[in-house]
Each structure stands twice: as structure tokens, then as C-alpha cells.
């Protein structure tokens, strides 16, 4: 009897151990099932996030390209508040001045640099006295994209009331740099231009306006830079500060003497006296390193 009771007890213990093993096995299987489900959810979540990101990028690309699919279009159609006249030049000086000087220029034009360094002080004197309003038309006959960047920065500087300072300083060096936006931002900071200048340069706020200036030059019959027009007449002797001063003084005296044997704007003029003629507007190499 004792032997029989011992076997029954052992059998009961064995059954309990088997049941425990089954419970452990079931728990492990349930844990494994949950782990597999979690992994599937993570994979689906990552895949979904990737799809959302791709969709966002696609929408952004389509938006920047616009309806015509041109990803290079800037979309910056702003015109500077200082722009004036038929050809949207930047006005510097007194808008009620008796003498108007139209100055067609290129920031990478060596002849313009020579004019600015030699005759710029004469113009500055008349502008500060209130006798002359200067309307500057920066174009891209010589420097292509580099000129366009500088033209945009010039407009940005004019918006902060420092167009004259920018123009003078841009031509003051020994050479004319192939401008980058970062260089132009630093250049303005060195001149003390504040406000929204840096953001304006970085965003290319007036880049479309800058590009349009060259088309407007052709419409106006401008064939080279610099072209200086005083009260409607082209100054032929633009290389001479004395000729510039005499022409302005003649206009202040009532117009006698004209603009140094000038011609109506659009006729042959500045290009025959060493001015830069229209060049390749794409690569901007010509004139960039010349003195």
C-alpha cells in the first residue's frame, strides 16, 4: 500500500510539472507572437513615414517648379521701391532736381569702373547739392550672372538708403570680383548696410528685376556701358570728369552748351569711346578680372 501511494504521489507531481512546462511554453509562444506583431507594426510605420516624406518632397518640387516645370525660375518679381521712370532705374538723389543723369552701367564693366573712379566724385557733388538726380540702370552686358547678383544687391542696398555707397564701393577696388551672394552679404555688412539687406541678397529678392534691366537697355537703344545721358542727351566724352561737370553746369544754366556734342539717347554713342559692348551674359567671364 505504501508503495502504491508513493507512485500516486510521484504521478501527481509529474503532472504538475508537465502542466507548468505547458504554461511556460504557452507564455513564451504568446510573447513571441506579440514580438512578431510589434516588429510588423514598426516596419509598416517606417514604410508609411517614408511614403509621407516622399509625398512632401514631391509636392515641394512641383511647387518650386511652377506650372511650366522650370526649376530655375526664381519667382522673385519684386521691383525696388526706388525704381523710377520708363526703364525702372534706381533713383539716387533729389527727385525734384533740375538735371537728370541716366547712367547705364555694369558692375563687372572695367570702363564703368574707370568712369566711377574718375567722375563719380563729380556726380556725388551735384547729387548732394540737390542739383542732380541720378538714375542708375545696372545691366549685365559684361558679367552675366555675376553682374546680375551685384545688381540685385545694389537694389537691396538702395532699399536701405545706401545705394550710392554700394555703387561707389563696388567699383573702388583694383579689380572687379565675380560676386557670390555670400561675398555680397559680407560686402554690405562691411559698408554698414543694415535692415533686411542680407536677407534680400540671399533670397534674390530683385533678381528678376536685375535680369530685366538688360532687356530694357536694348529697348532704350543702349549699345554699351557706361552710357551717360544728361537731360536726354548722351554724353560723348564720358571719360572726362571735366566734360561731365561742364555738361551738368550747362544744363543748370539753362541748357546752353548741351552735353558735350551729345546725341539723343539710343543713337551711336558710348560704345565708340572705349565702352564695353554687350557680351556673353551666361558665363560672365569677360571683364571680371580686367582692370
pLDDT tens string 218-227: 999 999 999 9
pLDDT of residue 142: 85
Cβ neighbours of residue 163 closer than 8 Å, sequence gap 6 or more: 82, 90, 92, 136, 154, 155, 157
pLDDT of residue 38 exceeding 90, the answer is: no
Q: What is the mean pLDDT of residues 252-278?
A: 55
Residue 251, pLDDT > 90, answer yes
- Its pTM stands at 0.66
Average pLDDT score, the chain: 78
Contact 136, 93 (CB under 8 A): no
**Model pLDDT for residues 225-236, shown as the tens digit of each residue:** 999 999 999 999
Band of pLDDT at residue 244, cut at 50, 70 and 90:
very high
Q: What share of the chain in percent tops pLDDT 70? A: 63
Is pLDDT larger for residue 8 or for residue 25?
25
Angle at 127 between CA 126 and CA 128, to 5 degrees: 95
- pLDDT single digits (tens) 107-130: 999 999 999 999 999 999 999 999
Those residues whose C-beta lies under 8 Å from the C-beta of residue 288, and which sit 6 or more positions away, are 108, 142, 143, 146, 176, 177, 178
Confidence of residue 256 (pLDDT cuts 50, 70, 90): low
Q: Is the pLDDT of residue 259 over 70?
A: no
Phi, psi of 248 (to 5 degrees): -70, -45
Q: In the prediction, which pLDDT does 59 show?
A: 36
Query: How confident is residue 272, by pLDDT bands cut at 50, 70 and 90?
Result: very low
Contacts 24+ apart (CB under 8 A), 71-79: 74/204, 74/207, 74/208, 75/208, 76/203, 76/204, 76/205, 76/206, 76/207, 76/208, 76/209, 77/208, 77/209, 78/205, 78/206, 78/208, 78/209, 79/206, 79/209
Task: Find the mean pLDDT for residues 24-52.
Answer: 63
Please state whether 231 falls in left (phi above 0), alpha (psi between -120 and 50) or beta. left
Instruction: Report the DSSP beta bridge partners of residue 89.
Output: 84
pLDDT score for 213: 94
* 191 and 160 Cβ atoms separated by less than 8 Å: no
Give yes or no for a cis peptide into 226 (omega within 30° of 0).
yes
- The number of residues making up the chain comes to 291
110 φ/ψ angles, rounded to the nearest 5 degrees: -60, -35
Amino acid at each position: 500500500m505504501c508503495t502504491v501511494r508513493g507512485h500516486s504521489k510521484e504521478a501527481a507531481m509529474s503532472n504538475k510539472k508537465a502542466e507548468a512546462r505547458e504554461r511556460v511554453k504557452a507564455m513564451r509562444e504568446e510573447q513571441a507572437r506579440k514580438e512578431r506583431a510589434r516588429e510588423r507594426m514598426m516596419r509598416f510605420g517606417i514604410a508609411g513615414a517614408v511614403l509621407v516624406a516622399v509625398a512632401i518632397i514631391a509636392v515641394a518640387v512641383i511647387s518650386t517648379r511652377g506650372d511650366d516645370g522650370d526649376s530655375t525660375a526664381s519667382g522673385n518679381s519684386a521691383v525696388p521701391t526706388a525704381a523710377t521712370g520708363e526703364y525702372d532705374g534706381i533713383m539716387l538723389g533729389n527727385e525734384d532736381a533740375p538735371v537728370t543723369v541716366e547712367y547705364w552701367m555694369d558692375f563687372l564693366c572695367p570702363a564703368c569702373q574707370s568712369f566711377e573712379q574718375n567722375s563719380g566724385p563729380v556726380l556725388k557733388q551735384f547729387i548732394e547739392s540737390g542739383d542732380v538726380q541720378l538714375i542708375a540702370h545696372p545691366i549685365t552686358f559684361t558679367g552675366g550672372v555675376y553682374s546680375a547678383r551685384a545688381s540685385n544687391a545694389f537694389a537691396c542696398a538702395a532699399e536701405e538708403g545706401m545705394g550710392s555707397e554700394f555703387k561707389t564701393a563696388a567699383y573702388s577696388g583694383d579689380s572687379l570680383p565675380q560676386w557670390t551672394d555670400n561675398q555680397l552679404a559680407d560686402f554690405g555688412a562691411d559698408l554698414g548696410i543694415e535692415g533686411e539687406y542680407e536677407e534680400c541678397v540671399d533670397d534674390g529678392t530683385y533678381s528678376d528685376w536685375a535680369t530685366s534691366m538688360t532687356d530694357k537697355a536694348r529697348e532704350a537703344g543702349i549699345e554699351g556701358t557706361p552710357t551717360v545721358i544728361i537731360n536726354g542727351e548722351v554724353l560723348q566724352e564720358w571719360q572726362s570728369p571735366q566734360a561731365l561737370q561742364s555738361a551738368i553746369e550747362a544744363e543748370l544754366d539753362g541748357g546752353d552748351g548741351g552735353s558735350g556734342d551729345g546725341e539723343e539717347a539710343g543713337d551711336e554713342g558710348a560704345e565708340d569711346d572705349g565702352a564695353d559692348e554687350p557680351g556673353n551674359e551666361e558665363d560672365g567671364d569677360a571683364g571680371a578680372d580686367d582692370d
